[in-house]
Amino acid sequence: MGKDVIIACDFPNAEQTLTFLDRFQGQKPFVKIGMELFYGAGPDIVRQIKARGHRIFLDLKLHDIPNTVKKAMTVLRDLDVDICNLHAAGTIRMMEAAIEGLTRPDGTRPLLIAVTQLTSTDQETLEKDLLIEKPIDEVVMHYALNARKAGLDGVVCSPLEAGKVHEVCGADFLTVTPGVRFADGDVGDQKRVMTPAEAKKVGSDYIVVGRPITAAVDPVAAYERCINEFVG
Ligand code: C5P
């Protein structure tokens, strides 16, 4: 898979999502469906968007005992999504079980990537809430390596971590990076951001872009700007 822009479709219902996607006449952007839309609209929204010809990153961040994650992954596999994810904190065994559940009888499967530490977790909460006393960068790289050992395809990470993840886990280990903003755009609640062009320079494989596209006056133009800056 080459570099691509994934639009975070953070809408509350199917109607708003499909109306948004209707704007992209003739184009089929890669879309991310998160918990809000999936839990609100149900699995049918995945089938509908897939039937329109889009690729889908289903961002449900699974984290449970290995057997439960394995069975849930089989359900996601049968929804025919292109990328799904889980928390690396669930352990290597859980990640291996996820791959087993995701693999089709013919040996193919959707890509599977891991969340290492959420970007909402900082050094202080890592230590105080989770009792993890190592530096957060070390924890992120350790979890990324665990994901690699379990056979996963990559991680969700900040574009600021993408270079290091490739150094530690290999150039072919995917980095899927949110926290992207245009140089002249609103940062909003994201703290550490990069432009699509900068994310390309540091080696992100996919950028996940939400509000800079979904809240733009002209979302199609904003998407095309992302593609031009990131894919070139
Ligand atoms: O609107 P914005 O571009 O900030 O959206 C980014 C998307 O990426 C959202 O769906 C958000 O939940 C997701 N995300 C993130 N940071 C992470 C993991 C996921 O912003 N560490």
Q: What is the pLDDT of residues 16-73, one digit of tens each?
A: 999 999 999 989 999 999 999 999 999 999 999 999 999 999 999 999 999 999 999 9
Tell me: pLDDT of 99 over 60.
yes
Q: What is the pLDDT of residues 189-210, one digit of tens each?
A: 877 789 999 999 999 999 999 9
Least confident window among 70-84, 184-198, 212-226? 184-198
Residue having the nearest C-alpha atom to atom 21 of ligand 1? 119
Ligand 1 midpoint to CA 17 (Å): 17
Q: Which atom of ligand 1 is nearest to the CA of 158?
A: 21
Angle at which helix 92-102 crosses helix 136-150, to 10 degrees, equals 40
Q: What is the pLDDT of residues 158-190, one digit of tens each?
A: 999 999 999 999 999 999 999 999 999 888 887
Q: Which atom of ligand 1 is nearest to the CA of 209?
A: 3
Q: Report DSSP state, residue 107.
A: S
Give residue 130's pLDDT band: very low, low, confident or very high (50, 70, 90).
Answer: very high
What residues are in contact with ligand 1 under a 6 Å CB criterion?
Answer: 8, 10, 34, 118-119, 156, 178-179, 190, 208-212
Mutate to test the pocket of ligand 1, among 5, 6, 7, 10 (most ligand atoms within 8 A of CB): 10
Mean pLDDT to the nearest integer, 80-91: 97
Helical (H) or strand (E) element with 111: strand 111-115
50-to-17, 80, 111 alpha-carbon distances in Å: 13, 8, 16
Query: Which of these is catalytic: 61, 70, 164, 200?
Result: 61
Mean pLDDT to the nearest integer, 77-98: 97
44-to-10, 13, 15, 78, 167 alpha-carbon distances in Å: 16, 11, 12, 12, 39
The percent of residues in the chain predicted with pLDDT above 90, rounded, is 92
* pLDDT at position 150: 98
pTM, to two decimals: 0.96
Residue 134 annotated as catalytic: no
